[in-house]
Amino acid sequence: MTGSPAQRPLEGVLVADFSRILAGPLATMTLADLGATVIKVERPGSGDDTRSWGPPFSPTGSTYFEGVNRNKQSLCLDLNDAGDLELAHELARRADVLVENFKPGGMARLGLGYETLASGNPGLVYASITGFGSAGGAGLMGYDFVVQALGGLMSITGDADGPAMKAGVALVDVLTAKDATIGILAALQARQQHGRGSHLEVNLLSSLQGALVNQGQAYLGAGVVPGRLGNDHPSIAPYQLLQCSDGPLAIACGNDGQFARLVRALGVPGLATDSRFLTNPDRVHHRLELTALLEEALSRDTARRWQDALVEAGVPAGQVSTIDQGVAYAEELGLGPTIEVRDTAGTVTGRQMRHPVSWTPAFPVRADAPPTLGEHTNVLRAWLSDRTQD
Taking only the tens of pLDDT, the chain with its 390 residues reads 344 457 999 999 999 999 999 999 999 999 999 999 999 999 999 999 999 999 999 999 999 999 999 999 999 999 999 999 999 999 999 999 999 999 999 999 999 999 999 999 999 999 999 999 999 999 999 999 999 999 999 999 999 999 999 999 999 999 999 999 999 999 999 999 999 999 999 999 999 999 999 999 999 999 999 999 999 999 999 999 999 999 999 999 999 999 999 999 999 999 999 999 999 999 999 999 999 999 999 999 999 999 999 999 999 999 999 999 999 999 999 999 999 999 999 999 999 999 999 999 999 999 999 999 999 999 999 999 997 765
Catalytic residues: 173
Count of CA atoms in the C-beta half-sphere (13 A) of 336:
8
From 3.40.50.10540, 3.90.1170.20, 3.40.50.720, 3.40.50.300, which CATH number describes the 14-211+338-385 domain? 3.40.50.10540
Q: What is the pTM of this model?
A: 0.94
- From residue 194, alpha-carbon distances to 118, 182, 188, 202 in Å are 15, 19, 10, 23
Pinpoint the alpha helices (H) of 53-170: 63-66, 82-94, 106-109, 114-120, 144-150
Pinpoint the alpha helices (H) of 58-113: 63-66, 82-94, 106-109
Residues in the chain: 390
**From CA 199, how far away is CA 193, in angstroms rounded?**
16
Cβ neighbors of 272 (< 8 A, separation 6 or more) are 256, 259, 260, 263, 264, 278
Cβ neighbors of 296 (< 8 A, separation 6 or more) are none
Cβ neighbors of 275 (< 8 A, separation 6 or more) are 282
Cis preceding-peptide flag for 370 (omega within 30 of 0): no
Q: Give the domain ranges of the chain.
A: 14-211+338-385, 239-328
The dihedral through the CA atoms of 144, 145, 149, 154 has a sign that is positive
At the second CATH level, the architecture of 239-328 is: 2-Layer Sandwich (3.30)
**From CA 377, how far away is CA 75, in angstroms rounded?**
4
Quick check: 102 and 41 in contact, CB under 8 A?
no
